[in-house]
Structure 1
Amino acid sequence: MEQLQSPFAIPHEDIEALNESDGFCMLRSYLARNAGFCHDHSQCDEQIRETWMLHRDILHALLMPVVTLFRRASALAEAALCTHRSEDLELAFAGEARGAFLCLQCFLTEEEDWCRGIGCPACVVSATLSTESHIRLTIAASLLSTASIASPASTPQHEELPNNRALPPLPHILPALRTALAADPFWSDDSDMWPYLLSRATQLSAGIQSLIAECTNLESLVMSPISARPTHALQKRGITFPITPFANAIQAEEKGVKLRKSKLAKRQLRLKDEEIELMRRVALQCWVQAKVPKQVRVEVLGTGKLTRARSLTCP
């Protein structure tokens, strides 16, 4: 029986360079727990199965930081907008960042298991060539891994690795992916497919970089003293922030002793309330002349809710 081969061919020297990375070796050790092959691919010999697992691990190392970034962006958007409606979260971003967020949201809703490498390693690797979206995200993730614009502080970290075990750049998949597309019967008919996919992936990569920058700004917004409410929404998604003396001072201020209002302050508040009540009466008189239904007047102006008290502005 002919052995099923991986569609990707990565040079041996590139594999050796990856194996010298402590972060990549740690990731491979973690992913080795999920090494179950399906019935069709379990018939392959051990060397071919090892190749499938290596390519699955490379894809996982590429895609999971993008998944982690999307989760962080979603949590920050929830906190900033005070909503759990997924269709509203895009409003927290603008421009290329919003386009990248929408693209990731649509794709991960259907294909998060593939991004996480869940299932048969051979099936996960083979699915990379299944749709244009899979290929475009793989290329964009590879471009992101080598992008110098993303600083270590803003680059999404891999959730299974400590911060001091960063993954190396992973451009090795690009020539292997291009060769696989040229050899694939479905994709090889169009000679312009690779330039088109690379152009689209470059746009997506730029959008994800904009999303990283906007997440940094959004994080500063939701952690400001004015909006201390989003902390719980972020903690539910596993996103925490360091406790700083400034944050402690804010909490101490919020829990401080309540101030007593002076007589002058109380009088000014009553004057403000009476001014609002006078404006409501003027509006009510105008609406009566216009024959606006009584029920509408009550609902909009709130008539009948305030009791008559001694006026400070009228004798």
Structure 2
Amino acid sequence: MSSETPCPFRVSLRDQIELERNEAFQAMREQLRRQDCAFRLHRDIIHTLLVPLFLINHQAERIAARALPSKKGAEPERAFRGEARSAFAWLHCILIEEHDWYLTARCPACIVLHVLHSEPTIRFLTVAAQLAGSRSGFDCWLAALETAVCEDPFWGDSFWPEIEDRASRLTEGVQQLVRQCHELRTNLDSPTYETPSLAKASVEYERPSCTIAIKPSSFARKQVKLSREEQRYRSSLVWNAWNCSREMRQPLGGSTPTQSRRRSMTS
């Protein structure tokens, strides 16, 4: 709900002064103030960590739209291959399912507590923290997330190793996605690039593996040359995402109803 919504209740100034003298009320108010500050801190950390994943997905969608032939029914994930394709599909799904959560400016406590709502939301934040790396200053929050999961009566410490392992594999997939986005963008910007037909694109990205040694293509040879530029591209993408994190915190019209927590590990 927007902070501009008027409160339906009215208390006179005289009554407010009386409440200021009420010790029980003041003690409770101070306790709630401290709790609110803690939730706001973690709410801001969560938003800062998630914005890069949102922007990576957004840029991947734009590059996929350029790389694939302009034909209806061409799924954007077909522009990528291997683990990058799986990571793109997973990011796309969770960003749709959790849209209200990661963009809303509602109650800080609701946003923070929703992290432990399901395995996908925990994994989402774990991936975000792993991608940020130790130099970002958010490595402490990854440890805090592990502690929260292990101490949670619903999850317990037996679930964290599995969640962390799945998150690590997804993190590698997102890194491959960033790398392939850079490769595709480089080729798309090349004046000699030709948009492949849908049939050719399908064959190229779904070619079965074989044991016959093949000569590396010119595209593969370019990867070594572009590695440094790719690293700069990846770093600038995440850095710019953190810098614009405040712009992403826009309130939405509604909020998602509270749902029961999910322990499913198949999402």
Same fold flag (TM > 0.5)? yes
Contact 1:142 1:174 in 2 (8 A): yes
For residues 86 and 63 of structure 1, what CA distance do their matches in structure 2 show? 29
Aligned-CA RMSD value: 2.7
Per the alignment, in what secondary structure is the counterpart of residue 48 of structure 1? helix
AA paired with 1:212?
V
Cα shift at 1:192: 2.4
- Cα displacement (A) at 1:85: 6.1
Deviation at 1:209, TM superposition (A): 0.5
Unaligned 5+ segments in structure 2 are 6-28, 196-267
CA-to-partner distance for each residue in 1:27-47, whole Å, 9 max, x for gaps?
xxxxxx9899xxxxxx87222
Q: Residue 194 in 1 paired to residue 175 in 2?
A: no
**Inter-CA distance 198–85: structure 2 relative to 1 (3 Å threshold):** farther
**What are the residue-to-residue correspondences of 1:240-255 with 2, within 5 Å?**
none
What residue in structure 2 maps to residue 182 of structure 1? 150
Q: In 2, are the aligned partners of 1:96 and 1:207 still within 8 Å (CA)?
A: yes
User: Which structure 2 residues correspond to residues 1-315 of structure 1 after superposition, within 5 A?
Assistant: 45-83=32-70, 88-146=75-133, 168-188=136-156, 191-226=157-192
Inter-partner Cα distance in structure 2 for 1:86 and 1:192: 42
Retained in 2: the 8 A contact 1:93–1:214? yes
Deviation at 1:220, TM superposition (A): 1.1
- What SS does the aligned partner of 1:185 have? coil
Q: Assess if the C-alpha contact under 8 Å between 1:67 and 1:115 holds in 2.
A: no
Q: Compare the two structures and name the one with the higher helix fraction.
A: 2
Higher relative contact order (CA 8 A, sep 6+): 2
| Counterpart AA for 1:172 | C
Larger Rg over CA atoms: 1
How far apart in 1 are the matches of 2:44 and 2:74?
32
How many residues align structurally? 170
Question: Where does the alignment leave 5 or more consecutive residues of structure 1 unmatched?
Answer: 1-32, 37-42, 149-167, 230-315
Deviation at 1:182, TM superposition (A): 2.3
Cα distance in structure 2, aligned partners of 1:73 and 1:125: 27
